[in-house]
Amino acid sequence: MLLAAGWLSAQSVSELESRIKKASSKTDKMNLSYQVAEKLIGSNPAKASDYAQQASQLATELGDKRKEADAAYLSAEGQYRARKYSEAASRFQHAWNSARNYGLREVALSATEKLQDIALKQNDYREALKWSKETVAYLKEAGGGVRSGGDAVRRLENQLAAAEADNRSLREQIAQLTGQSQVLETTYQSQLQETEQKTRKELTKKDSAIIQFAQEKQRADSLIRTKAILLKNLTEEQMIDSIVRAQQERELQIQKRRVVEAELKQQEGENIRNVLALASVFILVLALLFYFRFRAKKRAANELTLKNAMIEEEQKRSDGLLLNILPPAIAQELKTRNKVAARRYDQATVMFTDFIGFTTISERLSPERLVEELDYCFSNFDRIIEKYRIEKIKTVGDAYICASGLSEQVASPGDMVKAALEIQDFLLHVKAERMDQGLPFFEARVGVHTGPVVAGVVGAKKFAYDIWGDTVNISARMEEACEPGRVNVSEDTYWLAKYEFEWQHRGKIAAKNKGTMDMYYVVSMKT
């Protein structure tokens, strides 16, 4: 069955593409391109994005603002799934601008959520914060203030304000570190000037010593000349003795000069080492300051990322809880207006299911086991109807009630009948397993009817989404007149889904408080 479904899906895409080539009007091309994009978004997002972009351009030319925003968003979603984040951001922004200008709240909010996600994936925290602010501003503008947006929006704004306060605090810390850097730099300049002054004093002392040495040398030369004059009158022995003493005196002066020069060189080397040491300390201090500043910035960025992630997680959790109770459009209206207006739908399809012999089976099972079996069955019912875009209304004991045609993505009566057949197939499979295990099993009656209903949210606490009208009662009568394991539909539903299934006309059957009504069993889908 799965292989056949996959083949039919591929054939549908191929047929739609063929119809696009043959379409003569822009409206037909736009609608067909959008349908192809919807079918390909899961398997080939890049190709789906191209078709959605083509549909958006045609919608712009035709002036269809709703379709332009939806197609632009779908095109951006394809680029996002293909990991082309820059192009996806550009197209999400196009969808945001179109949806915001023409009051399409759901598309606008979905686009800003995606833009925040892309910014976080690219580590652009400023851009993510910008789109968070845009979301709050839009909710204020569209819904008349943050108060009418619900607790989730107030939490979002408070967390954004807290993130901004933390950013200001981090900027102040960075400014303080920068000030400390300037103080250290001033201290270094002062120490450097002090060292230079000491060096100049030492050099002045050495210059004085050199001048003194030169003066002594002049005196020695003068003494030598005087002694040379005296040598003329000295004896040979006296001359030799005088020459030896003069030579010794010259060697002594040379040694003194070498000692002075060595001391000067040593002092210069010490001064150079002192300057290099001070420079090394200054460079080390600067490096530490830059490191601490880098750590502070990194810590600030990490904290901002964490807070944005917490905001996003809180928003997703809040939205998820709300969407688990209410349809998306109703949940969005409740968030923006804090109330929901009742709406009339002229062609809604309602399905009732009820287990046969529930009381007898409940006496054979413990309460825990009974609840476990009900949860298993109803969870699979949820999975089946979600595939056909059908809205679960409620469960009453062992009865399960759902409806289609209550949103913009209108499901046909044929989709409801398909879901009913899948539910009976599922119960038949469970029945076979339970019989093999010698355990009790559930069999169900299913009734379907199509007609007008009124839907809305009742109560001020613990919101309950429900539907009302004669269509609901007739659907319940279809279920009561049904045999176990079969799907019983009214005449209205039969005419709307006539060509999709094989039928068994039951004739006119008595229905409680309704007289006799034409009823039909669904035999199978047409091949």
Q: Which residues contact 303 (CB under 8 A, 6 or more apart)?
A: 166, 170
Q: Please give the pLDDT value at position 494.
A: 97
> How far is Cα 68 from Cα 26, in angstroms, rounded to an integer?
13
> How far is Cα 96 from Cα 92, in angstroms, rounded to an integer?
6
> How far is Cα 453 from Cα 349, in angstroms, rounded to an integer?
9
Which percentage of the chain shows pLDDT scores above 70? 77
pTM, entire model: 0.43
Q: Where are the alpha helices (DSSP H) in 64-124?
A: 65-81, 85-101, 105-121
- The pLDDT of residue 413 is above 50: yes
- The pLDDT of residue 327 is above 60: yes
- The pLDDT of residue 146 is above 60: no
User: 262 falls in which pLDDT band (50, 70, 90)?
Assistant: confident
pLDDT in tens, 474-511: 999 999 999 999 999 999 999 999 999 999 999 999 99
Q: Please give the pLDDT value at position 339.
A: 67
pLDDT in tens, 195-253: 778 777 877 876 777 777 667 767 766 766 665 565 555 555 665 666 667 677 777 87
pLDDT top residue among 266 and 401: 401
User: 469 falls in which pLDDT band (50, 70, 90)?
Assistant: very high
Distances (CA, A) of 397 to 464, 506, 516: 16, 29, 28
SS3 content of the chain, % helix, strand, coil (to 5): 70, 15, 15
- The pLDDT of residue 447 is above 80: yes
pLDDT in tens, 178-197: 665 566 567 757 776 777 78
Q: Please give the pLDDT value at position 280.
A: 84
Domains assigned to the chain: 342-525 (3.30.70.1230)
Q: Please give the pLDDT value at position 171.
A: 62
Average pLDDT over residues 124-146: 74
pLDDT top residue among 347 and 322: 347
pLDDT in tens, 345-366: 999 999 999 999 898 888 888 9
**DSSP code string of 315-363:** HHHHHHHHHTTS-HHHHHHHHHHSS---EEEEEEEEEEEEETTHHHHHH
Whether the CA torsion 34, 36, 38, 43 is positive or negative: it is: negative
Terminal-to-terminal C-alpha distance of the chain: 12
> How far is Cα 75 from Cα 53, in angstroms, rounded to an integer?
5
pLDDT in tens, 419-439: 999 999 999 999 999 999 988
> How far is Cα 194 from Cα 206, in angstroms, rounded to an integer?
19
> How far is Cα 421 from Cα 444, in angstroms, rounded to an integer?
11
Q: Please give the pLDDT value at position 11.
A: 53
